[in-house]
Amino acid sequence: MVDLGVKLAGVALKNPVTVASGTFGFGREYGEFFDLSQLGGISVKGLTLQPRNGNPSPRIAETPFGMLNSVGLQNPGVDAFIARELPWLKGQGTVIIANISGNTPEEYGEMCEKLSAAGVDMIEVNISCPNVKAGGLAYGTKPELAAEVTREAKDHSTVPVMVKLSPNVTDITEIAKAVEGAGADAISLINTIRGMVIDVNSRRPVLKMNTGGLSGPAVLPIAVRMVWEVHSAVKVPILGMGGIASGRDAAQMLLAGATAVAVGAATFADPMAPVRVLEELSALCEGQGLSSVTELTGAIQPW
Amino acid sequence: MAKQTIGVIAEMRRLNPNAWSMILDVGDFVRGTFQAPGQFVHVRCGKSRLLRRPISVCSCDPSPAGDQLRLVFEVRGEGTAWLARRRLGDHIDVLGMLGNGFSMTEEGRYLLVGGGIGVPPMLGCLQYAPKRCDAVLGFRDAFHALLIDEFHARCTNLSITTEDGSMGEEGFVTGPVERLLKENRYAAVLCCGPKPMLKAVAALAERYDTPCQVSLEERMACGVGACLGCALPMADGSVKHVCKDGPVFLAGEVDWNG
């Protein structure tokens, strides 16, 4: 029997397979397909201080082995989440990670206070959403701003703070070191990569926002490379995500340095994907004779 | 409750240059998940394509002997082209039945209005309320018409329109729809087709004081309400999602200028 348990910033996950923010709602929809207690954790749909309607449609475009989205952080707001969704989520037998986005560092702080008090297990600070005009992405692309938001979040949290990095930067290790220096307990990556699809007949972008964030199997090698770079640059644990659709994909992410992984867009193709990824990962560990899945983390043998 | 299942193609037929009819044997899938005509299934179109394609259920047979699912779809891109290349006996991964269909009662007459590839779900409505429906079907031209014979067989009052007059009456569905609304009282107008058509039919229904339900589409990813991709602006300023809140909405709820 392989021990699948991992520790991410002091939080014990029963296994290293979580689901990525924005791909799993607040859990209710996919909870009809499988028992959510099988997951290592759930990172909920990105929350903001005030409710947001999000961007106009079309918000979705298919790409080779992937997709673009420009949902734009549609959510009911942090208070409604705490009142209507969190009590149910906390009863699902898995770790609940609240993903937050703010327009100012103070907004991040205010959300962290509310969510810590409400009893989430961990906070994932999104400094990397490519689909909102203010805040989000700018914080994720400038080390000093990323550090400022991280400090603010840490100062107002009583639970571990994980910072989610944007891949839309020249050197992701600069940002990783900045947020680690500011006290981040963990780092998650990657968010989506900015992309564009054009309808050649109408000559218009498919997305109403023109551009959106690329996810799906197409981004896996970029995510693996970035996890490897960040793992080499910082000491905090990493939640790796981007294109994971199988146990082998998850194992690559762990070998590159991740402590746990998140399954995202793959769930849209196959609602059972997170469970299947876990089963395949477990079988892979067994096949390699490992006693614990943690033996994979950072065990890459680079040339 | 929605389920994921593997259907086996029992029949595959080309209806016109763009449209195909596919009948799937699906075990107890229909019995287990059917709620109302107008629901859709989310169909996997090959392993290389991440996103499933939402396809309205044309008709389905929930009887234990049958349990077949009929999908009529138009080839619009690579995914549906892949689907059109499938053959008898091939396996198709479907997720469903999803969304809320048309709300129909045990009594009352319905006016069914379908445009182009919006016609197939109206056949499901007709199957649900046989002898209690009048129908107006609109197509670009005679080449793109579909399911005409099947409507004729089940519906005594059927009007066809084509934009070029190559079949039925020349023009849009709005001509016959207005005549029928003037002469008859319907429990509701049920409508599926391109958004401009839905908007025009909704306006007519309102003028003749008849409830109207419309089936809308939007590009979607998950199909179950998790990703929030298929957003639809509502008249009250809120945002709903085609996959979970729809695809059928009351015409009055929808922000037609959004």
| A:B CB pairs within 8 Å | 99
Grade residue B79 by pLDDT with cuts at 50, 70 and 90: very high
Half-sphere exposure of A93 (CA within 13 A, CB side): 9
Yes or no, beta carbons of A23 and B222 under 8 Å apart = yes
Show me where the domains of chain B are located. 3-98, 110-215
Yes or no, beta carbons of B228 and A30 under 8 Å apart = no
Q: Is the pLDDT of residue A181 over 80?
A: yes
Chosen for mutation from A34, A39, A60, A219 (greatest number of chain B CBs closer than 10 Å) is A60
- Least CB-CB distance to B226: which of A30, A54, A58? A30
Q: What is the DSSP string of A191-205?
A: -PEEE--EETTTTEE
Grade residue A36 by pLDDT with cuts at 50, 70 and 90: very high
Q: Give the Cα separation of B41 and B178 in Å (integer).
A: 32
Q: Give the Cα separation of B166 and B149 in Å (integer).
A: 17
Query: How many angstroms away from the CA of B237 is the closest CA of chain A?
Result: 9
B95 shares contact with chain A (CB less than 8 Å): yes
Check: CB of residue B107 under 8 Å from CB of residue B128.
Answer: no
Contacts of A71 in chain B (CB under 8 A): 227-229, 231
Pick the closest to residue B5 from A38, A271, A216 (CA basis): A271
Yes or no, beta carbons of B95 and A69 under 8 Å apart = no
DSSP letter at B223 equals S
At residue B10, φ and ψ (nearest 5 deg) are -100, -25
Half-sphere exposure of A96 (CA within 13 A, CB side): 22
A58 shares contact with chain B (CB less than 8 Å): yes
Q: Is the pLDDT of residue A133 over 80?
A: no
As a whole-number percent, the residues of chain B with pLDDT over 70 amount to 98
Taking only the tens place, the pLDDT of each residue in B80-100 is 999 999 999 999 999 999 999
DSSP letter at A31 equals G
Taking only the tens place, the pLDDT of each residue in A277-296 is 999 999 999 999 999 999 99
Q: Is the pLDDT of residue A135 over 80?
A: no
Parallel, antiparallel, or unpaired: how do β-strands B158-162 and B133-139 relate? parallel
Taking only the tens place, the pLDDT of each residue in A195-241 is 999 999 999 999 999 999 999 999 999 999 999 999 999 999 999 99
Check: CB of residue B61 under 8 Å from CB of residue B124.
Answer: no
Grade residue B106 by pLDDT with cuts at 50, 70 and 90: confident
With a CB cutoff of 8 Å and minimum separation 6, the contacts of A288 are: none
**B3-98 is a CATH 2.40.30.10 domain:** yes
Instruction: Report, as an integer, the average pLDDT of B231-236.
Output: 97
Domains B3-98 and B110-215 in one fold: no
Q: Exposed e or buried b for every residue in A72-108, given b needs 16+ CB within 10 A?
A: bbbbbebeebbeebbeebeebebbbbbbbbbbebebb
Q: What is the DSSP string of B105-133?
A: -SSS-EEEEEEGGGSHHHHHHHHHSTTSE
Mean pLDDT of chain B: 95
- Least CB-CB distance to A25: which of B1, B220, B225? B225
Grade residue A74 by pLDDT with cuts at 50, 70 and 90: very high
pLDDT of A136: 54
Grade residue A299 by pLDDT with cuts at 50, 70 and 90: very high
Grade residue A75 by pLDDT with cuts at 50, 70 and 90: very high
Contacts of B50 in chain A (CB under 8 A): 62, 65-67, 216-217, 265-266, 268-269
- Least CB-CB distance to A65: which of B48, B52, B258? B48
Tokens 């945002």 identify what position? Answer: B239
Residue of A nearest to B218 (CA): A58
Yes or no, beta carbons of B51 and A53 under 8 Å apart = no
Out of A2, A78, A89, A129, the active site residue is A129
- Least CB-CB distance to B95: which of A64, A217, A271? A271
Yes or no, beta carbons of A57 and B230 under 8 Å apart = yes
B19 shares contact with chain A (CB less than 8 Å): no
Check: CB of residue A260 under 8 Å from CB of residue A40.
Answer: yes
Note if A112 is an active site residue.
no
Q: Is the pLDDT of residue A131 over 60?
A: no
Say whether pTM exceeds 0.90: yes
Residue of A nearest to B44 (CA): A269
Contacts of A61 in chain B (CB under 8 A): 219
Contacts of B95 in chain A (CB under 8 A): 271
End-to-end CA distance of chain A: 31
pLDDT of A223: 98
Instruction: Report, as an integer, the average pLDDT of A42-70.
Output: 96
User: Tokens at residue B233, please?
Assistant: 């602006």
Q: What distances in angstroms separate CA A299 from CA A25, A176, A267, A296, B4, one per listed residue?
A: 33, 20, 27, 5, 37
Return the number of other C-beta atoms located less than 10 Å from residue A170's C-beta: 7
Check: CB of residue B99 under 8 Å from CB of residue B244.
Answer: yes
Return the number of other C-beta atoms located less than 10 Å from residue B127's C-beta: 17
As a whole-number percent, the residues of chain A with pLDDT over 90 amount to 94
pLDDT of B67: 79
pLDDT of B156: 83
DSSP letter at B248 equals E
Q: Give the Cα separation of B129 and B113 in Å (integer).
A: 14
Q: What is the DSSP string of B59-85?
A: EEE-STTT-EEEEEEE--SHHHHHHHT
A71 shares contact with chain B (CB less than 8 Å): yes
Q: Is the pLDDT of residue A130 over 70?
A: no
- Least CB-CB distance to A67: which of B44, B51, B231? B51
Check: CB of residue A191 under 8 Å from CB of residue A132.
Answer: no
Start-end of H helices in chain A = 78-80, 86-90, 105-118, 136-141, 143-155, 172-181, 220-233, 247-256, 266-269, 273-287
What domains can you pick out in chain A, each with its CATH number?
A: 6-54+72-196+215-296 (3.20.20.70)
pLDDT of A134: 55
- Least CB-CB distance to B229: which of A59, A65, A266? A59
What's the count of helices (H) and strands (E) in chain A, helices before strands?
Answer: 10, 16
pLDDT of B59: 87
Contacts of B245 in chain A (CB under 8 A): none
CATH of B110-215, one of 3.40.630.10, 3.40.630.30, 3.40.50.80, 3.90.245.10: 3.40.50.80
Contacts of A271 in chain B (CB under 8 A): 4, 95, 224
Instruction: Report, as an integer, the average pLDDT of B70-75.
Output: 96
pLDDT of A132: 59
Instruction: Report, as an integer, the average pLDDT of A9-19.
Output: 98
Return the number of other C-beta atoms located less than 10 Å from residue A207's C-beta: 25
Q: Give the Cα separation of B182 and A184 in Å (integer).
A: 68
Q: Is the pLDDT of residue B61 over 90?
A: no
Instruction: Report, as an integer, the average pLDDT of A169-177.
Output: 96
